[in-house]
Amino acid sequence: MNEVVRWSVAVETPMHTAVGGLLDYTSQYSLTPGSLVRVPLGRRVVPGIVWARAPAEAPAAELRAVGTVLDALPPLDTHWRALVDFAARYYQRGIGELALAVLPPDLRKLDVAQMARRVSRAMRPQAAEAAAAAEAAAAGAAGAAAAELPALGDEQSAALRAIGADDRPMLLHGVTGSGKTEVYLRAAASALAAGRQVLVLVPEINLTPQLEARFGARFPGGRLVSLHSALTPAQRVQSWLQAHLGIAELVLGTRMAVFASLPRLGLIVVDEEHDASFKQQEGARYSARDLAVWRGHQLRVPVLLGSATPSLESWQRVREGRYRRLTLSSRVGGGGLPRVRLLDMSSLPRTPGTEQVLAPSLTEALRERIERGEQSLLLLNRRGYAPVLHCTACGWKSGCPHCSAWRVFHKADRTLRCHHCGLAERVPRACPDCGNLDIAPIGRGTEKLEEQLGALLPGARVARIDADTTRGSGRLAQQLAAVHDREVDVLVGTQIVAKGHDFRHMTLVAAVNPDGALFSSDFRAPERLFALLMQAAGRAGREAANAEHSEMWVQTWHPRHPLYQSLRTHDYEAFASAQLVERRAAGLPPFASLALVRAEARDAARATGFLRDAAAALGACGGAAEAARAVVVHAPVPAPVARVADVERVQMLVESGSRRALQAALAAWLPELHGLRRRHKGLLRWAVDVDPIAI
């Protein structure tokens, strides 16, 4: 009989545990770290991952034995475990919690026989795909496709040559249509040719079906798998297994895919690297972009971050020489960017009592487009009909009884809906407070804009795309198809329509009312607005023939605002420089590191009480006193939406000029917070968000 060995196993423990989710077990069989197993935990049997040999502290007799080993699954390699180790440490979560959370949910449920079946199914390419691949090979399609590749521009070639030339992550900076995707495709092709796997991260696959289609067309025959939450659980297991087994050569996925197991990983691409959706907003709040950079560094494989409007974090790293900048300075085919027109709303004649929907000149510009058979896009980042209803007699407003937010008026189904807690009720006929019948919408959402456009442009085919119109699978694709098929003259939409779509016949994009973000309390709001507007502008004039007369209009009360001035000249660099000066002066990222501790309770005072005690505990963290001195803990404040579904949310910002000091302080502090939590009974939840993206 074999010697009994102690193993540390990563398991999802019900609560945060001081040991970080690694529990010790014994086994008389020889185990390989990275193996998926089942272990007893309390009265349950739970999935776990063998992490490492455990130090022989506890007498083996007191430990329980590892149960089943799912040995059909090859072990997760050291690199994968190192990635999870790092992410757990950096984002202050348990290793076990994170390691299991990033596996496909259904994979954890499989028993030994099911696992063996799934693995063998994943090993043989799908029959249909194999047939397609054979057909393609027979027709010589692969050869033909290769022959049709466009000749690269000088900057594209230079970018490709730079990949792998040194160890630094690369920032590929180029406007929409400048040929970034072509660079990704070529870089991927070389990595595949060298026998390596490629990971491509995108913000939201649903919003960029063309990107997936282009990769699929370039790499046919089942070499590409996708990984995102819209897959069925079975598809997700299949994709994940094919990546893990090395069958899939290319993984295209959303943020979760950064944790894909890729034994031969040779290149990581992060498209639209500035996009906020790379940051997970619950559980372990990781940044897939930042983890991608870490993973590339760990494996010494190239990381290519692409964007027209890089995050200021990445841009600052370029300025410090830590990232290498690659530039694509113009649109392929020489088409210019749309001309930006800032429309000064204060210069419009005002008629009391009427609301200026669109400036007359903008309405005229829309009419011209319709006559020429071209399309226009109106961007309004607020869905619903009107953000609030209001009583003209007593001043009642349609607040949500459970949230500190207004309920939005949706005219189509005559409801008042809270976008935070989901409460929906029929619109009252009269003011609930005074009985007045005259209750009126204030402000405007996409639904109202759509209605108003119908009146302004009789006969025009107006369509709307936002979260309300795209509920239900396939709805978004259908609506986008209608736009591509030119069944739509004017498209109204939220930011959903500003991203990635390749609308060939669009020559006018207008931001109807974007000023709000200029004065937001979130220091990143201007950065997000600039990126959104640049991206929206990129929807116009994608057909070189149309580029000449393509325009981006911005209706604003602040036409001289520096953000709009930079937009006018498509000058990301000027915008970034100005922002970085402000950030440095204010001691904000990328010149400081932040963490946000959030607390939730029925009663705000309880949440605040927890955070106050937490702040005091940091000062008292013995060994980490030095680290604690290097961080500043701000006073607890209500979250931007302070109450949601009757839960009060309070947050406390922790900052430091040194990332290392912040990390050291958090590491010493977190165990204290877990302990403290037990003494605060009224607290519902608390969490720490490292490098938060919304303050």
Query: In sequence order, which ranges of 106-179 are alpha helices (DSSP H)?
Result: 112-123, 127-139, 141-147, 154-162
**653 contact choice in Zn ion, ligand ADP, none (CB below 5 to 8 Å, kind-dependent):** none
Neighbouring C-alpha atoms within 13 Å toward the C-beta of 108: 18
**249 contact choice in ligand ADP, Zn ion, none (CB below 5 to 8 Å, kind-dependent):** none
Distance CA 374, CA 390 (A): 38
Question: Phi and psi dihedrals of 428, rounded to 5?
Answer: -70, 150
**152 contact choice in Zn ion, ligand ADP, none (CB below 5 to 8 Å, kind-dependent):** ligand ADP
- Applying CB under 6 A, which of residues 72, 116, 152, 299 lies at the interface with ligand ADP? 152
Distance CA 487, CA 481 (A): 9
Pairing mode of beta strands 593-601, 683-690: antiparallel
- Applying CB under 5 A, which of residues 126, 436, 565, 577 lies at the interface with Zn ion? 436
Q: Does 335 bind ligand ADP (CB under 6 A)?
A: no
**Total residues at interface with Zn ion (CB under 5 A):** 15
Q: Does 334 bind ligand ADP (CB under 6 A)?
A: no
**153 contact choice in Zn ion, ligand ADP, none (CB below 5 to 8 Å, kind-dependent):** ligand ADP
Q: Does 332 bind ligand ADP (CB under 6 A)?
A: yes
- Applying CB under 6 A, which of residues 47, 177, 266, 384 lies at the interface with ligand ADP? 177
Q: Does 176 bind ligand ADP (CB under 6 A)?
A: yes
**417 contact choice in ligand ADP, Zn ion, none (CB below 5 to 8 Å, kind-dependent):** none
- Residues 27 to 66: which contact Zn ion by CB under 5 A? none
Q: Does 408 bind Zn ion (CB under 5 A)?
A: no
Distance CA 144, CA 308 (A): 32
Q: Considering Cα of 395, then 398, then 403, then 408, what sign does the dihedral take?
A: negative
Q: Which stretch binds ligand ADP (CB under 6 A): 108-116, 169-177, 347-355, 371-379?
A: 169-177
Distance CA 294, CA 354 (A): 55
- CB-wise, 12 or 543, nearer to ligand ADP? 543
Q: Does 309 bind ligand ADP (CB under 6 A)?
A: no
- CB-wise, 21 or 538, nearer to ligand ADP? 538
Q: Which of 233, 307, 258 is nearest to 532 (CA)?
A: 307
- Applying CB under 6 A, which of residues 47, 94, 104, 179 lies at the interface with ligand ADP? 179
**Chain position carrying tokens 């009265």:** 43
Least distance between Zn ion and beta carbon 64 (Å): 46
**Chain position carrying tokens 């028993």:** 111
- Applying CB under 6 A, which of residues 35, 92, 156, 507 lies at the interface with ligand ADP? 156
- CB-wise, 156 or 651, nearer to ligand ADP? 156
Q: Does 634 bind Zn ion (CB under 5 A)?
A: no
Least distance between Zn ion and beta carbon 522 (Å): 21
CB 51 within 8 A of CB 36: no
**19 contact choice in Zn ion, ligand ADP, none (CB below 5 to 8 Å, kind-dependent):** none
Distance CA 427, CA 404 (A): 19
Q: Does 539 bind ligand ADP (CB under 6 A)?
A: no
Other CB atoms within 10 Å distance of the CB of residue 99 = 29
**Total residues at interface with ligand ADP (CB under 6 A):** 14
Distance CA 128, CA 172 (A): 36
Q: Does 94 bind ligand ADP (CB under 6 A)?
A: no
CB 411 within 8 A of CB 385: yes
**Chain position carrying tokens 């430091």:** 656
Q: Does 181 bind ligand ADP (CB under 6 A)?
A: yes
**241 contact choice in ligand ADP, Zn ion, none (CB below 5 to 8 Å, kind-dependent):** none
Least distance between Zn ion and beta carbon 413 (Å): 17
Distance CA 288, CA 692 (A): 13
Q: Does 174 bind ligand ADP (CB under 6 A)?
A: yes
- CB-wise, 399 or 562, nearer to Zn ion? 399
Q: Which stretch binds Zn ion (CB under 5 A): 138-146, 188-196, 414-422, 512-520?
A: 414-422
- Farthest CA pair distance, the chain: 93
- CB-wise, 504 or 659, nearer to ligand ADP? 504
CB 691 within 8 A of CB 594: yes
Least distance between ligand ADP and beta carbon 178 (Å): 4
CB 234 within 8 A of CB 163: no
- CB-wise, 153 or 493, nearer to ligand ADP? 153
45: which residues sit within 8 A by CB, 6+ positions away?
Answer: 38, 39, 67
Sheet of 224-227, strand order: 224-227, 250-253, 197-201, 265-271, 303-307, 170-174, 324-328
Other CB atoms within 10 Å distance of the CB of residue 142 = 14
**176 contact choice in Zn ion, ligand ADP, none (CB below 5 to 8 Å, kind-dependent):** ligand ADP
Q: Does 433 bind Zn ion (CB under 5 A)?
A: yes
What percent helix, strand, coil does the chain show, rounded to 5? 40, 25, 40
Least distance between Zn ion and beta carbon 400 (Å): 3
Least distance between ligand ADP and beta carbon 181 (Å): 3
Distance CA 629, CA 646 (A): 36
- Applying CB under 5 A, which of residues 79, 339, 402, 674 lies at the interface with Zn ion? 402
Q: Does 150 bind ligand ADP (CB under 6 A)?
A: yes
- CB-wise, 142 or 642, nearer to Zn ion? 642
Q: Does 499 bind ligand ADP (CB under 6 A)?
A: no
Q: Which of 659, 597, 595 is nearest to 627 (CA)?
A: 659
Query: What is the phi-psi region of residue 447: left when phi exceeds 0, alpha when psi lies from -120 to 50, beta otherwise?
Result: alpha
Least distance between Zn ion and beta carbon 95 (Å): 36
User: Which residues of this chain interact with Zn ion, rule CB under 5 A?
Assistant: 391, 393-394, 396, 400, 402-403, 418, 420-421, 423, 431, 433-434, 436
User: Which residues of this chain interact with ligand ADP, rule CB under 6 A?
Assistant: 150-153, 156, 174, 176-182, 332
